[in-house]
């Protein structure tokens, strides 16, 4: 776009008639046409976006009510169903354009439907790694690699790669992202954006191609500012009959919404715990230590009381069980076989694929083969049995025990040190080069994903290469309002 719009400045300009929704849509499409041949963020444009913009303009001209995001350009992660557009999961097997089979959903995922009802201009769907199985990049996508918009030679973060790149490049004001293990945090931090990883079950994620719908998956926004992310969360959060687990969200949102939770002086006197070996026994790179020290100084200037390594001796770091040398704990993802079969059934009767079995028959491919894109899950206890019997809900006893253990220790430490939140660098070192075999080294994946805890990532500087450094605030379940207020206070001084 030709102006650095935020939700508030854009909606104000639209309301005053200084610009039309159609003009905004054309600006966004022109930006995509000019830049995306290089960046590869948008893989499936929405052919109806101009008609949608014209309808918004007509409603406004007629004095009819319009939604909170009327005329605001938004990008949708490929894994989220948009009625009539293919959901490919980045996998050539599931893309007719790459010689595979298209999955065409009959209706929008609830989060997409909520954006439509709010009047958002849905520009299209964005690139992801195959089956969202990378937190670092989308290099293996059938659509090709997506670049980091602020540091093109560096990893852009994954798996919500295209949504982050599209927002950082100015195509859209908000990007819809989704996380199982770092997929909101990583691209937000690497590309200088705000990202909200919400409490598990705050936002519905039915109609989204799963990695762990039953246990870990969450949908949240990426945006340029904390206020924009908070506005998006106001639209996305809350109970949906399509996703029964969201009944847990009833009564958990701030009474005035997340935007009204952004109060001045939010960090004054707040006790903030800091990353250390008690959280994870993994040291920070010197460049990260320097950036984190500067961020901590900013928190002190804002009146926060910092508590070094409050998790020391708590046993928190010892709960993790990492996959090989990745420092990634995949527990909970064993639910994916059942979840994926249920996802396929929800595509609608018009779909050629309505079960994992029909997918296997029609494509002669299986994402859960040991050599397949999700083959790493064979390291999870009992995964072979779950692959053999996936039509019934899996036994999640072991996963739930680990979640409860994480939550018990987390709450005990928060109470013992009277903490309001925990702050840490989102990554332990600089994101690697785009085509490096190295992975992004996080601090909080999968601890907060298994526990279901919320986190807000906010830009906190740049590494020497120009790639983003993000500060992550983590809090108790349902504490998004407080975390956003802390992030907004910090954002104001950076």
CATH number at 177 reads: 3.90.1300.10
According to the model, what pLDDT value does residue 324 have?
66
Closest-CA residue to 484 (of 211, 288, 254): 254
Cα–Cα distance, 134 to 126 (Å, whole number): 15
Nearest 5°: the CA angle 422, 403, 336 is 115
The pLDDT > 90 percentage for the chain reads: 94
CB 7 within 8 A of CB 38: no
Query: pLDDT for 280-303, tens place per residue?
Result: 999 999 999 999 999 999 999 999
Q: Say if 29 falls within a structural domain.
A: yes
45 pLDDT exceeds 80? yes
157-171, 215-229, 232-246, 325-339: least confidently modelled range: 325-339
Query: pLDDT for 382-405, tens place per residue?
Result: 888 889 999 999 999 999 999 999
According to the model, what pLDDT value does residue 123 have?
98
The pLDDT > 70 percentage for the chain reads: 99
Task: Compute CA 133 distance to the chain's CA centroid, rounded to the nearest angstrom.
Answer: 13
428 pLDDT exceeds 50? yes
According to the model, what pLDDT value does residue 326 have?
73
1 pLDDT exceeds 60? no
Query: pLDDT for 16-25, tens place per residue?
Result: 999 999 999 9
According to the model, what pLDDT value does residue 138 have?
98
426 pLDDT exceeds 70? yes
- How many folded domains does the chain comprise? 1
Q: Say if 160 falls within a structural domain.
A: yes
Cα–Cα distance, 491 to 192 (Å, whole number): 11
Using CA atoms, how far residue 335 sits from 31, 97, 272, 382, 396, in Å, is: 40, 29, 34, 11, 8
Q: Say if 226 falls within a structural domain.
A: yes
Cα–Cα distance, 368 to 322 (Å, whole number): 20
Q: pLDDT grade, residue 245 (50/70/90)?
A: very high
What torsion, rounded to 10 degrees, do the Cα atoms 42, 95, 187, 369 define? 180
Task: Tell me what the mean pLDDT of segment 135-147 comes to.
Answer: 98
Structural domain boundaries, residue 354: 7-491
Would you say the C-alpha torsion 250, 254, 256, 262 has a positive or negative sign?
negative
According to the model, what pLDDT value does residue 2 have?
45
Main-chain phi, psi angles of 10, to 5 degrees: -70, -45
Instruction: Kindly list the catalytic residues.
Output: 77, 159, 183
Instruction: Flag whether the pTM goes above 0.85.
Output: yes
Task: Tell me what the mean pLDDT of segment 124-146 comes to.
Answer: 98
Which tokens in the block code for residue 424? 């840490």
Q: Say if 1 falls within a structural domain.
A: no
134 pLDDT exceeds 70? yes
According to the model, what pLDDT value does residue 325 have?
66
Q: Say if 2 falls within a structural domain.
A: no
460 pLDDT exceeds 80? yes
Q: Say if 174 falls within a structural domain.
A: yes
Element (H, E) at 27: helix 21-39
Task: Compute CA 440 distance to the chain's CA centroid, rounded to the nearest angstrom.
Answer: 16
Query: pLDDT for 54-102, tens place per residue?
Result: 999 999 999 999 999 999 999 999 999 999 999 999 999 999 999 999 9
Residue with tokens 């354009």: 97
Give exposure, 102-119, as e/b (b: 16+ Cβ within 10 Å). ebbbebbbbbbbbbbebb
According to the model, what pLDDT value does residue 3 have?
52
């Amino acid at each position: 776009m030709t102006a650095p719009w935020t939700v508030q400045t854009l909606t104000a300009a639209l309301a005053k008639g200084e610009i039309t929704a159609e003009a905004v849509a054309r600006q966004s499409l022109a930006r995509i046409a000019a830049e995306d041949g290089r960046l590869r963020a948008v893989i499936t444009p929405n052919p109806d976006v101009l008609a949608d913009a014209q309808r918004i303009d007509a409603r406004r001209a007629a004095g009819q009510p319009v939604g909170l995001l009327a005329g605001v350009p938004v990008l949708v992660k490929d894994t989220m169903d948009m009625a009539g557009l293919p959901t490919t999961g980045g996998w050539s097997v599931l893309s007719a354009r790459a010689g595979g089979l298209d999955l065409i959903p009959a209706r929008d995922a609830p989060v997409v439907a909520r954006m439509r009802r709010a009047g958002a201009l849905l520009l299209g769907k964005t690139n992801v790694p195959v089956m969202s199985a990378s937190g670092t990049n989308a290099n293996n996508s059938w659509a090709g690699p997506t670049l980091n918009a602020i540091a093109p030679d560096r990893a852009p973060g994954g798996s919500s790669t295209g949504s982050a790149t599209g927002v950082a490049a100015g195509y859209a004001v908000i990007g819809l992202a989704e996380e199982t293990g770092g997929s909101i945090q990583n691209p937000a931090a690497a590309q200088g954006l705000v990202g909200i990883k919400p409490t598990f079950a705050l936002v519905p994620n039915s109609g989204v191609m799963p990695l762990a719908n039953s246990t870990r998956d969450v949908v949240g926004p990426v945006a340029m500012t904390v206020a924009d992310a908070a506005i998006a969360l106001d639209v996305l959060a809350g109970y949906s009959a399509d996703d029964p687990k969201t009944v847990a969200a009833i009564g958990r949102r701030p009474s005035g919404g997340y935007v009204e939770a952004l109060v001045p002086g939010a960090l004054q006197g707040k006790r903030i715990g800091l990353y250390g070996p008690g959280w994870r026994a993994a040291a920070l790179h010197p460049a990260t230590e320097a950036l984190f020290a500067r961020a901590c100084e900013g928190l002190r200037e804002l009146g926060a009381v910092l508590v070094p390594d409050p998790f020391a001796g708590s046993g928190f770091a010892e709960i993790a069980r990492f996959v090989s040398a990745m420092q990634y704990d995949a527990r909970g993802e064993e639910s994916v076989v059942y979840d994926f079969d249920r996802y396929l059934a929800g595509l609608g009767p018009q779909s050629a694929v309505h079960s994992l079995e029909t997918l296997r028959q029609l494509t002669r491919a299986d994402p859960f083969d040991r050599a397949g894109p999700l083959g790493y899950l064979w390291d999870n206890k009992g995964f072979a049995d779950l692959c053999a019997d996936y039509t019934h809900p899996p036994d999640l006893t072991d996963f739930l025990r680990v979640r409860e253990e994480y939550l018990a220790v987390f709450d005990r430490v928060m109470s013992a040190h009277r903490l309001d939140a925990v702050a840490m660098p989102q990554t332990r070192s600089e994101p690697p080069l785009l085509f490096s075999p190295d992975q992004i080294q996080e601090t909080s994946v999968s601890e907060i994903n298994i526990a279901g805890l919320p986190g807000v990532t906010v830009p906190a500087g740049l590494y020497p290469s120009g790639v983003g450094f993000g500060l992550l605030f983590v809090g108790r379940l349902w504490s998004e309002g407080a975390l956003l207020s802390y992030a907004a206070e910090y954002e104001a001084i950076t």
